Structure formats: C-alpha cells, structure tokens
Amino acid sequence: MPRTAHRPLEVDEEKLVLQFPSLDRKAVGAFFTPAPLAERTLALALQHVGGGPLTVVDPSCGAGAFLTAASRLRPGVRLCGLELDPEVARLCQARVPEATVRAGDALRDGLEPLLATIPPDHQELWVGNPPYNGTSSVLKDPGTYARLRALLPLALMPGTSLRDDFAFFLLVAAHRLATRPGALAFIIPASFLDAFMYAPLRQSLLETLSLREVVDLGPGAFAGTQVRTCITVWSSLPGPHPAPRFERRGIGQHFTPEPPEWRLAPTAPEASALDARWRERGEPLTRLVPVSLPGVKTRFDELLVDADPERLLTRVKDFAATPEEALPEFAKAHGLPEELLPKLRALKAGPPLEVDASYIRPFYRYGGARHRGSVPPEARAYCYLDRRLVPRGDHRLRGPYDPHLGAVKLLFNVRELPLSAALLEDEGCVHDHRHARFAPLYVPQRLRDEGLGLTRSVKTRDELGPLVPNLSPRGLAWAERLGGPLPAFQALVRFLNGAEVQGIWAPAFGASRVVPVPLAEE
C-alpha cells in the first residue's frame, strides 16, 4: 500500500549549522544543499528512470533536501535516507515523515539494513550531495578502506591515492546499481570531471553505468564555499543510449568520453590540435626539465617559520632548551596557541635537538597563480630546515643532495588549474603550494640522468657528479639556440603563462596532462 504523502517541513538547509554547533562540517565535508539545486538534480535524474515502482535513496541525506524534492516531483515514491549525525537524521525524519530515515555511516555497512527494505521490483534512484572533505576518515580504518578500494578494479594513477569520501560514495552506489535497474545523480566536486587522479574512477564508472548528464555548476553553489561543483547523472537501465549531454552556463552539447583520461567534458577541437602539434614538436615539461620536487612543508610553521631570522633562531633555541614540563610557558612566551602543545610535546619526544644557525634558510611563500612570472619580495620569510623537526621527508633534502641551494629555480604546477609558472632568482626554499614543484636551474649530473632515486644509495655529494643544466638532451639543444639555460627557463615561464596555454590548452587538459613544450623551430 502506498505511503500517504505529507507536506514537507520547510527548512533552510544552511541554518542547520546554527542548530548543531557540534557539527564540524569542514571536517566531515558536509554542506547542506539548497532546495532549488536539489530539485534541479532530481529533475535531471527522473528523466532517466521509468514510470514503474521507484525507491529514492540518499546515502548522506542531511536534513532531507533531496528526499523532500523527490516527494514533490514524484509523489508516492518510496524514500530512504541515511545520515551520519543522529540529530540531523531526526530532523530529516520530522521534515519528511513518509521517508525511512536512519542514522548510520554509508561507508561502514550502515546502508545494508536500509537497502534490505527495498522491494525487489523497484528501480532505485540514488541521489545526494555526498561529503567531499579531501581526506576520508576511512583511511584510518584498514578493513573498510580495503573493502571500498576493491570496488575500483583498476590501478590508480602514479603518485595518487583514493582518499575522497565522494569517490567512495560513487563506488558504493555504482556497485549497487550494477545489478539493479535505476539511476545515480550526485552533486560532487567538478575536479572529478577531468582531474588526473580520478581517471581510473571515471573509467570504472563508464564501464559500469551509462553516463547521461553532466552539469558544471561552477563555484559558489553552496553558501560559504567557492568549490567548483557539478551534477553527474548515470543510468543502469538496459538499451542503447545517446551520447551524454554536458551543460555549462546554460549551454549544452553532447560529447563522448575518450581514453586515456576519460574526461567527462567536451574537448575543444582547437585544444586537441594544439596539444597534438606541441607533442610532435617538443616534449612534456617534466621530461624537458628532469629534476623537480614539491616545496617544503614544515607541518609546524608556527614554530619553524618567521619573517625575522633572528627571532626564529631564538625561538628554536628556546624550544631546544625547554624541558617538556615547561612547554606551556614556552608557548605562552612565544605567542603559540595552547592547542599546539601536543605538537610541541611530540617533537620533544624525539632525539635531543642540536640547534644549528646554518639551518635558517630563506623561505618563499609561493602563491601559485598569484605570483605568476616572479615571486614578490614580500613573499620572503625564513624557515628552520632541520630533518629532525620536519617529518616524512617534507624538508625535500635527498640524501647528500640539497636541492634548495642555487639561486635560480623554475616554479610550476602540473595537473592543477590554474596553471602558472614563476622564476625565483634568489637562493632559498619554496613553500609547498598545491601541486606546485620547483626545479633548480643546475643539478648534479647523475641526478639529471638517473633520477632522484639515486640519492638513496649514495653517501656523498661528490658521487652525484658536477652541476649541469637541468634540461633533457633536446632541452639542451633548445637552450643553446636561445642563449643558455637561464634564457630557456625564462622562455618556459613565458610559455606556461602565455595565451595559448592559459586560454586554449589548460581549460581542456590542464587538470589531467603535463603540458608539452614545443621546441622545434616554427
């Protein structure tokens, strides 16, 4: 017997944050969905399910924006929701009384009891705005992670990992729909459409379901954030389907995802032509410039970074001389917040600290596209670069090799928009900016020719060979035509910041490929 529909309780989704002060939505990636956006998503998805019995499933239902929209757009439909926070789940149940709402974790088997209630003759429409907090809590749960990782039967891209909650939600929903008729419509970060790291996930979904709709919402769809988001709609219904439709700023067109990136967006013909021509006439930036590293990440800037080198050295000396029981007084004297005491105690737990003034290095807070072309003087600070205090190799010192020496470095980013480049012509360390790398103008010969892995087996700097230009053989010939290695690095900065890269190539390939640099004379 069909459930009786009730008038949904009107709720301002974003005002929920005021009702639940304990809800750290940044930590859990929870941003409640405006009603118009939920209805738009449902309307798109409902076009791709039949007219028979239907259950709508929201695995991260929040206050019920999608369940409410479903009850309005498809009266009498069966509604199921799961919400991590019990208080929010109770509000959702009150708002949509006809729904079956439970508190639980969709990524840790919380869905199974809910899904068991769905009649076998129902299609399923999975909808929602799953959390996208960047680093899922399941990474600390090996069993859960292994189970979720097994849902993606493809190798990940080199240097990447599967770590986003929204990716796990997509895999769970797709796995369910692989054996049942229905559709899937999630609001997720727009980086999913073309980012390098998500290529295996895109490929897996395309092999499991039929992509039907993509809507690039751009930034600002949710209050309090400028994250670019999108709607993707998938179907598991049998039969031939037309090419998926892509929409941005109200303009739609059909397209076909293609290997190897499986981008879920159309590629401009002029971008493809430019990419092909540059590849024919040159080589990828990371091959042209063989040695590059991420920037320094101290993980404790409050202690290890300062605008004044003398003040920094004094602070580190005081820290070394302070016994653990006196750390609260040390923190107060140096203006460090009380919440940093656990980090201070953790550093104290290691071997004794011997302070060396030579560890004070210039430290440039590179700002990516904000510092396009060059790094301004005001970005300069100082860091205390000590292997003992900077964990996990984030100091970027490699065995006997110190990549921070040398006055000229090319700063650039790969597979992250916006692409940009700058030339740093002062010796020092570079701050770890998102996906950015620094490439010294000169590097030891064996590192250039054999790679950074060599530093694991050598004991002395001399074993690495003399300093040579950090360019491939083709790059050296190109540099000779330009007048030397420095003019070549300067030309790279101009090229990467130029109109063709920024206006044509990067919008199509900047998030998924390393830019090819044309070297042949036109």
What pLDDT digit, counting tens, does each position of 96-134 carry?
A: 999 999 999 999 989 999 999 999 999 999 999 999 877
Residues 75 and 206 reside in one and the same domain: yes
**8 A C-beta contact, residue 518 and residue 282:** yes
Residue 450 lies in a domain: yes
Name which residue leads in pLDDT, 220 or 60: 60
> Over 60: is that where the pLDDT of 24 sits?
no
Distance CA 128, CA 33 (A): 9
Q: Is residue 109 part of a domain?
A: yes
Mean pLDDT of 313-324: 97
In a domain, 492, yes or no: no
Domain membership of residue 345 (yes or no) is yes
DSSP-derived 3-state class of residue 260? coil
pLDDT, tens digit, 9 for 90 and up, residues 240-267: 889 999 999 999 999 999 999 999 999 9
Structural domain includes residue 479: no
Compute the distance between CA of residue 287 and CA of residue 472 in angstroms, rounded to an integer: 7
**pLDDT given at position 435:** 84
Cβ neighbours of residue 353 under 8 Å, at least 6 residues apart?
A: 316, 319, 320, 347, 386, 388, 389
Per-residue model confidence as pLDDT tens digits over 152-196: 999 999 889 999 999 999 999 999 999 999 999 999 999 999 999
Beta strands in 14-70 (DSSP E): 54-58
Residue that terminates a domain, selected from 238, 260, 281: 238
User: Which CATH number belongs to the domain containing residue 94 in this structure?
Assistant: 3.40.50.150
Task: Say how far apart CA 377 and CA 17 lie, in whole Å.
Answer: 41
86 pLDDT exceeds 70? yes
> Is 15 buried (19+), middle (13-18) or exposed (0-12) by CB count in 10 A?
exposed
* Residue 132: predicted pLDDT: 82
- Indicate whether 234 and 295 sit together in one domain: no
> 17 pLDDT exceeds 50?
no
> For the segment 430-456, what is each residue's pLDDT rounded down to a tens digit?
999 888 999 999 999 999 999 999 999
Do 217 and 294 lie in a common domain? no
Do 296 and 232 share a domain, yes or no?
no
Residues 57, 176, single domain; the answer is: yes
Q: Given a cut of 70, is residue 21 above it in pLDDT?
A: no
Tell which residue, 118, 88, 116, 113, has the closest CA to residue 13.
Answer: 88
0.75 exceeded by the pTM? yes
Is residue 478 assigned to a domain?
A: no
Tell me the pLDDT of the chain averaged across its residues: 92
Radius of gyration of the chain (CA): 27
Q: Does residue 26 belong to any structural domain of this protein?
A: no
Q: Round to whole Å and give the CA distance between 140 and 259.
A: 33
Residue 247: inside a domain: no
CB-based contacts of 316: which residues, under 8 Å, 6+ apart?
303, 304, 353, 355, 384
Mean pLDDT, rounded, for 5-31: 47
Measured CA to CA, the distance from residue 65 to residue 128 in angstroms comes to 9
| 122 and 217 co-located in one domain | yes
Please give the Cα distance from 48 to 126 (Å, whole number): 12
What is residue 390's DSSP assignment? S
Q: Both 132 and 214 in a single domain? A: yes
Number of independent structural domains in the chain: 2
Nearest alpha-carbon partner for 431 in 334, 495, 366, 478: 366
Q: Which amino acid is at 304?
A: L
Range of the domain at 55: 31-238
- The C-alpha atoms of residue 402 and residue 384 are separated, in whole angstroms, by 14
Q: What per-residue confidence (pLDDT) applies to 33?
A: 83
